């Protein structure tokens, strides 16, 4: 692996995103993430998985520059569905998956974190879905998972304004479990993960299976709809303008085309 590092502390396996400077989620990283979780699924010594980011951020989002290399709607839809597949694998993983978030979890980074069972955040972290700044929508499950955590109205506000929550606000809104000073976030998250790892793995699996019974029965279909809408937005002139403006570090001018 070149973009992820896998280490272990007791029965806790630690997956570290190592793609500086922003730990952006490109297609290669998604492929590696899938391979890691396939391996951890079969690893009896792993009872809990903790995901964190190296450097300044947990993950500042998808790799926008890579978007410029995708030429067709079908290609974007296929890539988006591959992300849905691994995020759903994490969401339904039979071992607890904990996200330790510092710096920022934005766009795809927050969508990855929302796929985890539990989120611990730095107090000053930024969590948000700013895709509408690019003329796009959240495409990796954000439109479906964020309302589950913060409610429909707050999810709408976060997406429509692109304004993030702080770590402290994320806890208040139910998006995260607890917030800690940034210098303590990994240590605190690991302490909680170790408590989980001390439990019976059979009981943990049963608890996860039962918690997932509350999933929306049509989640597969709604995620498919999100992927289609994301790909369609990607084909618009507004999306081209938003992506170009992001790369050029300027404010986009959207024309509704």
Active-site residue, 241 included: no
Active-site residue, 131 included: yes
Residue 131 CB-half CA count within 13 A: 26
Closest C-alpha among 33, 16, 43 to residue 197: 43
Residue from 32, 111, 169, 226 carrying the catalytic annotation: 111
Residue from 131, 168, 182, 237 carrying the catalytic annotation: 131
Alpha-carbon torsion (189, 191, 194, 195), positive or negative: negative
Catalytic residues, by residue number, are 111, 131
């Amino acid at each position: 692996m070149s973009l992820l590092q896998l280490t272990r502390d007791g029965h806790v396996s630690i997956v570290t995103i190592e793609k500086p400077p922003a730990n952006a989620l490109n297609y290669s990283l998604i492929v590696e993430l899938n391979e890691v979780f396939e391996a951890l699924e079969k690893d009896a010594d792993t009872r809990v998985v903790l995901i964190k980011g190296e450097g300044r951020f947990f993950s500042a989002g998808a790799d926008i520059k890579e978007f410029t290399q995708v030429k067709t709607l079908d290609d974007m839809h296929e890539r988006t569905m591959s992300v849905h597949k691994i995020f759903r694998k994490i969401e339904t993983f039979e071992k607890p998956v904990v996200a330790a978030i510092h710096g920022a979890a934005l766009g795809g980074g927050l969508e990855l974190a929302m796929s985890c069972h539990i989120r611990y955040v730095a107090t000053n972290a930024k969590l948000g879905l700013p895709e509408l700044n690019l003329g796009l929508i959240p495409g990796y499950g954000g439109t479906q998972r964020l309302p589950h955590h913060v409610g429909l109205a707050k999810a709408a506000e976060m997406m429509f304004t692109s304004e993030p929550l702080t770590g402290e606000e994320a806890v208040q809104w139910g998006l995260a479990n607890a917030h800690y000073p940034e210098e303590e976030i990994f240590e605190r998250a690991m302490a909680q993960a170790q408590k989980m790892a001390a439990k019976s793995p059979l009981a943990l699996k049963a608890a996860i299976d039962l918690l997932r019974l509350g999933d929306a029965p049509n989640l597969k279909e709604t995620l498919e709809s999100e992927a289609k809408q994301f790909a369609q937005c990607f084909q618009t002139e507004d999306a081209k303008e938003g992506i170009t403006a992001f790369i050029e570090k300027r404010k986009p001018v959207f024309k509704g085309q």
